[in-house]
Structure 1
Amino acid sequence: MTSATPSPHSPAALSVHGTVVARYHDGSDVEPVLSPRPHLHPVRTLGGTAVTEVRPEDHRHHLGVSVAVPDVSGVSFWGGRTFTRDRGSVLLDNHGRQQHLEWLAVEDSRLVELLSWTGPDGTELLREERTWAARPLGDGAWALDVVTRLRNTGGRDLSIGSPATNGRPRAGYGGFFWRAPVAADPPRVLGPGSDSEEELHGSRADWLALAGRSPEGRDWTLVFCQDGPERDPWFLRAAEYPGVGAALAWEERLPVPAGGGLARHVTTVVADGHPDPAALADAARHRP
């Protein structure tokens, strides 16, 4: 069902069988130092439990579900401080923004938007078509598909980097990123054959799961899968804070030639309780 197209600054939502499961924000109210960008928050289970967080005290630049990149040829689309080889982590005047240009589709369960990635001087570096889509999986679970198609429109070769490519080991974050809320205890981490945060961080595991409990005592599970030919290493945090990302530049910079582009697709299963994550991952990959 297609709904009336909202203006860029009005809220939009994703629904599953009439239940709103995610709210869209264009990021226009985000402070420049946090690298304004579209994001989803709150994202909820079908039972109503929130499984995202925005602007937490530990990392103010974490914005629910977003696509955040710390280094596009020196421009931060992540927010906060930048890790440098000579000075470590410092606050620079290098923050870009992802600006919503137009809606390409607005439906109850699917939003498609056109975005402009601009540097601090307003020059466009990248243009993106992004899809946010929700679909039911049954048994109290649903899946969020985030598809990003980036094209270099800056008129010169660009490259994507990370703190790791700038000298901070195992900090190769940047790309799809999901920030979950903090509770009394950290979520349990699960992957095929492992429940070790250390082992799964940086791996290319077939799927990755967080099994947590809300501050109100309600259990939830998130299962992350990557679709398509490109499978990036997982960036994983649980003990320090709960967050999962797919890292575009884990150890080496990722070139994006002038006029070239890249595409990524991450599916996240959102479930009440603590069901079998492997079964959820299989269900997410089975599309009718």
Structure 2
Amino acid sequence: MSTTTAPAAGTSTTGGPFSWTDDGAAVTVTLDGVQVLTYTYAANDPQEESPRPYFHPVRTRTGDLVSAYRPHDHVWHKGIAWSLPHLGPDNFWGGPSYRRGQDYRWLPNNGAMRHRELGQATDDDGTFRFAHSLQWVTQQGSLVVEEERSFQVVPGTDSSYTLVFDTAMTNVSGEPIHIGSPTTEGRENAGYGGLFWRGPRSFAGGSIIGPGGATGEELRGQRAPWLSFVGQHDETCRFSTLVMVDDPGSEHPEPEWFARSEPFACMGPAPFFSQEVLFEAGTTLHYRYGVVIADGQSDAQRSEALALAARELLAATQGRNGQ
């Protein structure tokens, strides 16, 4: 397996706002002097946590932390990560697996997403871009998925920036795979899986806001183009806002959402929430999302404005993801 790594450090070649460092396993991105995120692309977590890339720490432009890593209640939760609990019989989420009529069980099925090769780590026209390829390997050592993944960091207005996440997964197992969730296995309203964010402890009890001013955990399982979460920080008592948006040009149905405010903060578009997706052998599934990280408290109007700006950004950058 060939592997290349990014330069040890980089600065904008266009006089832009970015600099970054790369230690061969993780790249840390600095925006206007603030380390806004670290992306660990070659994770070495325990097998039972399904090692996979993740974004953590993730900070606002003023430096407030908006992600959690290995919380004691679910140590396999890692900041913001692309995680699938039911890829056929295999678990690429971490932890125990839900099985119909049997509840959660620890099984020898925790796979790993392994970094294979670096594509790029560059700053271009005021945007930071990173791309790499991965291989998804089961706990028994079988290669089932090859993935091309990229992300962008795009400064925004209103004390915000947007993380654009793009993945193209190809089924190389030689067999069709059904992708689902605990809900497709029989657990009601637990359709998590996909791009998943876990917030810091102090965000428990925060506000979930959706389109049209809808609020609360009743948004879990509902379809929407975006969802936002507003939380308050310990120590500083400041507020921060996260808005996750679906690519308006997506070929997939508008996602259902998994979101919780209690007992902890989490959120994510869940494309396999209530219905399995058949992943045919040799085919490629493509998913793309934006995550707005903004300083300050947001009401429904501001959340909607941040979501609209992110969706316009996704539409404008379609095909420029670096893959």
For residue 123 of structure 1, what is the amino acid of its counterpart? S
- 3-state SS of the aligned residue for 1:177? strand
Alignment partner of 1:168 out of 181, 184, 187: 187
How far the C-alpha of 1:174 sits from its partner, in A, is 0.8
Q: Secondary structure at the match of 1:106?
A: strand
Partner of 2:285: 262
| 1:220-274 alpha-carbon deviations (Å, 9 max, x no partner) | 0001110023222111111221111111211221110000121111111111111
CA distance in structure 1 between the aligned counterparts of 2:158 and 2:58, rounded to whole angstroms: 18
Identity %: 35
Q: Which residue of 1 aligns with 2:217?
A: 198
SS at match of 1:285: helix
Aligned length: 287
CA contact under 8 A between 1:115 and 1:129: conserved in structure 2? yes
The separation in 2 between residues aligned to 1:47 and 1:4, in whole angstroms, is: 17
SS in 2 for 1:284: helix
- Once residues 259 and 224 of structure 1 are traced to their aligned partners in structure 2, the CA distance between those partners, rounded to angstroms, is 30
Matched, 1:76 2:91: yes
One of 225, 229, 242 as aligned partner of 2:251: 229
**Residue 35 of structure 2 corresponds to residue 12 of structure 1:** no
Cα distance between partner residues in 2 of 1:79 and 1:134: 27
Equivalent residue for 2:146, pick from 123, 127, 145: 127
Amino acid at match of 2:170: R
What do the CA deviations read for 1:30-71 (whole angstroms, capped 9, x no partner)?
111000000010010000001011100121110011100001
> Do structure 1's residue 67 and structure 2's residue 67 form an aligned pair?
no
Cα distance in structure 1, aligned partners of 2:102 and 2:244: 34
Residues 115 and 134 of structure 2 are in contact (CA less than 8 Å); yes or no, is this contact kept in structure 1? yes
Say if 2:45 is the partner of 1:30. Answer: yes
Does residue 140 (structure 1) correspond to residue 159 (structure 2)? The answer is yes
Deviates more, 1:237-246 or 1:71-80: 237-246
TM-score under structure 2 length normalisation: 0.84
Query: Aligned partner of 1:249: which letter?
Result: F
* Contact 2:34 2:63 (8 Å CA) reproduced: no
Aligned alpha-carbon RMSD (Å): 1.9
Give structure 2 stretches of 5+ with no counterpart. 1-11, 14-18, 317-323
2:295 aligned with 1:278: no
Provide, for residues 70-119 of structure 1, a one-character-per-residue CA deviation record: whole Å limited to 9, x for no partner.
01111100000111113111111110000000111112411111010110
Aligned residue for 1:280, secondary structure, equals helix
The TM-score with structure 1 as length reference comes to 0.94
From 259, 272, 280, give the equivalent of 1:249: 272
- Structure 2: distance between partners of 1:5 and 1:58: 31
Q: How many angstroms apart in 2 are the aligned matches of 1:121 and 1:92?
A: 12
Selected match of 2:206 from 175, 187, 201: 187
| Stretch of structure 1 that moved more, 14-23 or 74-83 | 14-23
Give me the whole-angstrom Cα distance separating, in 1, the residues matched to 2:231 and 2:201. Answer: 9
Query: How big is the shift at 1:20?
Result: 2.6
In structure 2, how many angstroms separate the alpha carbons of the residues matched to 1:4 and 1:69? Answer: 29
1:238 to 256, 261, 270: 261
Query: Which residue in 2 is equivalent to 1:107?
Result: 122
